[in-house]
Amino acid sequence: MPQKKTSQQKAEATPAKRQKSSTERIFGPAVMSHGFTGVPNILVRGQKRLGLNTAQFNILVQLLSYWMDPAKPPFPSKRNLLERLDMSETTLQKHIRDLEAQGFLRREQQTTAAGDFGSNIYHLDGLVRKLKKLAPDFDDERAEREAARQKTERPNARANARAAAAKQRATTAKTED
At 77-101, the pLDDT tens digits run 999 999 999 999 999 999 999 999 9
Of the candidate ranges 33-42, 76-85, 106-115, 147-156, the one whose mean pLDDT is the lowest: 147-156
Domain ranges of the chain: 19-132, 145-176
The architecture that CATH gives domain 19-132 is: Orthogonal Bundle (1.10)
Q: Using the predicted structure, report yes or no on whether residue 139 has a pLDDT greater than 90.
A: yes
Q: Are 20 and 39 in contact (CB under 8 A)?
A: no
Average pLDDT over residues 129-148: 92
Label residues 100-132 b or e (16+ Cβ within 10 Å = b): eeeebbeeeeeeeeeeeeebbbbebeebeebbe
Mean pLDDT of the chain: 87
pLDDT at 153: 60
Give DSSP secondary structure letters for 53-71: -HHHHHHHHHHHHH--BTT
> What confidence tens digit (pLDDT) does each residue in 45-71 have?
999 999 999 999 999 999 999 999 999
Q: Using the predicted structure, report yes or no on whether residue 1 has a pLDDT greater than 60.
A: no
Q: How confident is the model at residue 116 (pLDDT cuts 50, 70, 90)?
A: confident
Q: Using the predicted structure, report yes or no on whether residue 6 has a pLDDT greater than 70.
A: no
For residue 104, give the nearest of 140, 71, 157, 64 by alpha carbon. Answer: 64
Q: Using the predicted structure, report yes or no on whether residue 128 has a pLDDT greater than 70.
A: yes
Q: Using the predicted structure, report yes or no on whether residue 157 has a pLDDT greater than 70.
A: no
Q: Residue type for 114, please?
A: A
pLDDT at 166: 81
pLDDT at 12: 63
pLDDT at 115: 75
- How are beta strands 117-123 and 106-111 bridged, if at all? antiparallel
Q: Using the predicted structure, report yes or no on whether residue 29 has a pLDDT greater than 70.
A: yes
pLDDT at 161: 73
